[in-house]
Amino acid sequence: MAHQNVYIVSNSSYVPKGVMTNQDFEKMVDTSDQWIHSRTGIRERRIAAEDESTSDMGTNAALKALKAAKKRADDIDLILVATLSPDFIFPSTACIIQEKIGASKSAAMDIQAACSGFLYGLSVAKAYIQSGTYNNILLISSEKLSAIIDYEDRNTCVLFGDGAAAQVISNEGPGLLVGEVLLGADGSQSELLCMQGGGSRNPASIETVKQRLHYLKMTDGQAVFKTAIKKMAEAGSRIMQKANLTSDDIAFFVPHQANLRIIEVLAKKFNVPMERVVTTLQKYGNTSASTIGIALDELLQRKVLKEDDKLLLLAFGSGFTWGSAFLTFKKEDQHD
């Protein structure tokens, strides 16, 4: 029996209006625009309003994705939300968005794979559709990282921003045909990038607040940097081998947007010139699970994709988690 084809039939994004530039950080911590840009490639990032939550941003992206796909909320069978900054520990942000968009017939759940959340969510959506369990899935990646950033920690506060993306994923095209999706994880270095406070191990207390445990912490940036390059390079090589593709087959490279130097190393490794690499971190910083969806949206808005163009997606995040995927642009539904 042939596998059911799986398509991203619409892709939308939402970024909040508030902008925080590198110059703004010069007034807050011991840093400079030149230092931040030379080490990360970031110029500015979007910051959500105080009363704008992860579910609010996700809802905005979701409604745009539904409209672009010409789907009603009632057409959605399952809502997946990839986030490490949910509205609450529970209930799931997916349930909150389900109510906000009126998708009363859908199931809903969150996925927590940090910056790899989009690819983990894509793999779950693909499996559900290929199994015949569901036909239309709404995948949302939304992050309000400004809520968990320590703006006294100059090493991490400059890296992150807020934003959301959403895709309607369906068993009928046209759109981006989802090819191979590979995932990986290694929990042995989980302490290098984490938020220690607020869970069952360190429940909220006066002490955890005093120790600033409710903020994102990166204890060894160099180790994270090196592991990110290594694991994304391995994931890219593995998926190319599995899909029987070469560097010449990559029309565009859409990587996780954490650091321009990481992206440049990976582009060189896969022989993709930088003009065919989608970069958005200069405008938005690292929006964790949302980065690939936002970058995909920008690529699609440019209307440069041709029939059968292949996109290589790579991500790496806390956990550590990582993943890779291939998408193929199709103007017509491909029936098996």
Q: Are 320 and 186 in contact (CB under 8 A)?
A: yes
Name the catalytic one among 5, 136, 259, 286.
Answer: 286
Alpha carbons within 13 angstroms on the beta-carbon side of residue 279 total: 21
Q: How many helices (H) and strands (E) does the chain have?
A: 10, 13
Beta bridge partners, 324, equal 182, 314
Is 286 annotated as catalytic?
yes
Helix (H) or strand (E) holding 95: helix 93-101
Count of beta carbons in the 10 Å neighbourhood of residue 189:
16
Name the catalytic one among 95, 115, 157, 194.
Answer: 115
Q: Are strands 78-82 and 250-255 parallel, antiparallel or unpaired?
A: unpaired
Is 194 annotated as catalytic?
no
State the alpha helices, DSSP H only, in 221-289.
221-242, 260-269, 281-284
Name the catalytic one among 95, 136, 256, 259.
Answer: 256
Q: Are 319 and 185 in contact (CB under 8 A)?
A: yes
CA pair distance 165, 121, nearest whole angstrom: 12
C-alpha to C-alpha distances, 53 to 148, 195, 286, nearest whole angstrom = 12, 19, 17
3-state secondary structure of 58: helix
**How remote is the C-alpha of 307 from its chain's centroid?**
25
Count of beta carbons in the 10 Å neighbourhood of residue 132:
9
Which residues belong to the active site? 115, 256, 286
